[in-house]
Amino acid sequence: MWDFSTDPEFQEKLDWMAAFVKEECEPLDRLYPGMGAPYDITNHKARALVRPLMEKVKAQALWACHLGPELGGQGYGQVKLALMNEILGRSQWAPIVFGTAAPDTGNAEIIAMFGTQAQKDRYLKPLLEGEIVSCYSMTEPQGGADPGQFQCRAVRDGDEWVITGEKWFSSNARYAEFLIVMCVTDPDVPIYRGASMFLVPRATPGVNILRNTGVFGEPESDYSHGYIRYEGVRVPADALLGGEGQGFAVAQARLGGGRVHHAMRTVGQCRMALEMLCERAVSRHTKGSALADKQLVQAYVADSWIELQQLRLQVMHTAWLIDQGHDYKSNQVPIAGIKVAMAKVMHDIVQRTIQVHGALGLSDEMPLAQMWIHAMMMGVVDGPTEVHKLTIAKHLLRNAKPAPGLFPSAHLPPRIAAAREKYAGRY
Ligand SMILES: Cc1cc2nc3c(=O)[nH]c(=O)nc-3n(C[C@H](O)[C@H](O)[C@H](O)COP(=O)(O)OP(=O)(O)OC[C@H]3O[C@@H](n4cnc5c(N)ncnc54)[C@H](O)[C@@H]3O)c2cc1C
């Protein structure tokens, strides 16, 4: 059965969320617009505003819904989570308010999956409560998309591991209570078997944030992507998350669901852009009529709606596939597909929306330039577009067979001859 309906009980929850995000979360985006601002637990004024909102979300049983009931969530499948994330995507602060902000969601999931009881007690509990935030520290300055370039090493020394190396674009490191650091533990085997994950409290001596990098011209005080030098950082043997050499197996587990949530938040952003595009089209007049009356502008609207609809269905279908009991690995291709599509669709819709807003669209008086940069980010974070396209292409090409002879199997002359022979005397 193909079924595109949402059950009415869950729709009521979505309606509550939509109103709550608009009225309570979107104003926070205006007060604290920095990309890292929702994670700044040292901003006591902002935290005082957010805490009661978190309580309201918990009272609605909508807190951290990606988690199973044993961890205080609802155990919702990916389809429900996708519909929720479409709403959360409208506000930068909403994911924090609903306990579903990346990278904390993925970090919590891998601690829940691979962590020891002691690790769960120390890190998972306060993370799930929203009392602390965390950082995922993997990319290095000399190589992000190619893990084969990673150099940050962890070397065993008695009961301890000693971490030495540099990490780059470790988001929210400055606010994080702890970092999950990917390190090379065996340089003599391929990186996919020679890397391990470590749980490192940020206060550990030797965790030195050289500087924080900002994006899209945000003020320096908001810069939140840490360039970190780990200088002989000593952690106990039990700081290892998962087994030695399992770093990439652990990393894969955190990306599947996260990409679906990211994609659906992007759908939410695209929907906002389309709303702005339509409003502008019917508001602005030039050469004797509204922009909405110009056919070129009508094409912008139609193209944007079509692309948004295609993306939304593609994401929902991927979420559905995962819910059918197939794991993330067997859905690698659809997940890569939405990762690529979301960056392109958001780029194109936001670009048209900026265009019809003219100078205003480019100005800091509209959120559009920031949204456009976000679209660019989508094409880089969690692996660049090109790498995901390679995944898709490799899969398709692996299943393709060479033509049986000189000409392609779709070559018409032999097909016509075969058809004539099949229906000889009857056509
Ligand atoms: C806002 C933001 C937040 C981030 N947060 C985190 C974080 O919290 N933790 C973390 O560890 N990292 C984080 N990153 C880093 C991110 O994961 C990397 O930027 C990404 O993996 C790409 O690595 P790179 O920047 O080193 O680019 P490179 O690996 O140098 O790639 C540069 C470009 O080369 C091209 N390219 C690369 N590989 C191929 C290929 N195989 N075929 C064809 N072309 C290719 C692509 O155009 C690519 O964009 C963040 C990045 C951004 C922008």
| pLDDT tens digit sequence for 317-361 | 999 999 988 777 789 999 999 999 999 999 999 999 999 999 999
Quick one: pLDDT band at residue 406, thresholds 50, 70, 90? very high
The pTM of the full predicted model, rounded to 2 decimals, is 0.93
Residue 218 has pLDDT above 90, yes or no: no
Tens-place pLDDT, residues 86-127: 999 999 999 999 999 989 988 998 998 899 999 999 999 899
The 3-class secondary structure across the chain, one letter per residue, is: CCCCCCCHHHHHHHHHHHHHHHHHHHHHHHHCCCCCHHHCCCCHHHHHHHHHHHHHHHHCCCCCCCCCHHHCCCCCCHHHHHHHHHHHCCCCCHHHHCCCCCCHHHHHHHHHHHCCHHHHHHHHHHHHCCCCCEEEECCECCECCCHHHCCCEEEEECCEEEEEEEEEEEECCCCCCEEEEEEECCCCCCHHHHEEEEEEECCCCCEEEEEEECCCCCCHHHCCEEEEEEEEEEEEHHHEECCCCCHHHHHHHHHHHHHHHHHHHHHHHHHHHHHHHHHHHHHCEECCEEHHHCHHHHHHHHHHHHHHHHHHHHHHHHHHHHHCCCCCHHHHHHHHHHHHHHHHHHHHHHHHHHHHHHHHHHCCCCCHHHHHHHHHHHCCCCCCHHHHHHHHHHHHHHCCCCCCCCCCCCCHHHHHHHHHHHCCCCC
Cα 380 to averaged position of ligand 1 atoms, centre (Å)? 5
Q: How high is the pLDDT of residue 272?
A: 97
Question: Using a 6 Å cutoff on CB, does residue 57 contact ligand 1?
Answer: no
Going by CA atoms, what residue is nearest to atom 13 of ligand 1? Answer: 169
Which atom, in ligand 1's list, is nearest to the CA of 141? Answer: 26
Cα 377 to averaged position of ligand 1 atoms, centre (Å)? 9
Quick one: pLDDT band at residue 253, thresholds 50, 70, 90? confident
Question: Using a 6 Å cutoff on CB, does residue 138 contact ligand 1?
Answer: yes
> Which of 169, 200, 372 maximizes ligand 1 atoms within 8 Å of its Cβ, making it the mutation to test the pocket?
169
Going by CA atoms, what residue is nearest to atom 46 of ligand 1? Answer: 384
Question: Using a 6 Å cutoff on CB, does residue 143 contact ligand 1?
Answer: yes
Residue 149 has pLDDT above 90, yes or no: yes
Question: Using a 6 Å cutoff on CB, does residue 36 contact ligand 1?
Answer: no
Tens-place pLDDT, residues 171-217: 999 999 999 999 999 999 999 999 999 999 999 999 999 999 998 77
Which atom, in ligand 1's list, is nearest to the CA of 138? Answer: 11
Going by CA atoms, what residue is nearest to atom 52 of ligand 1? Answer: 381
Q: What value does the mean pLDDT take over residues 40-54?
A: 95
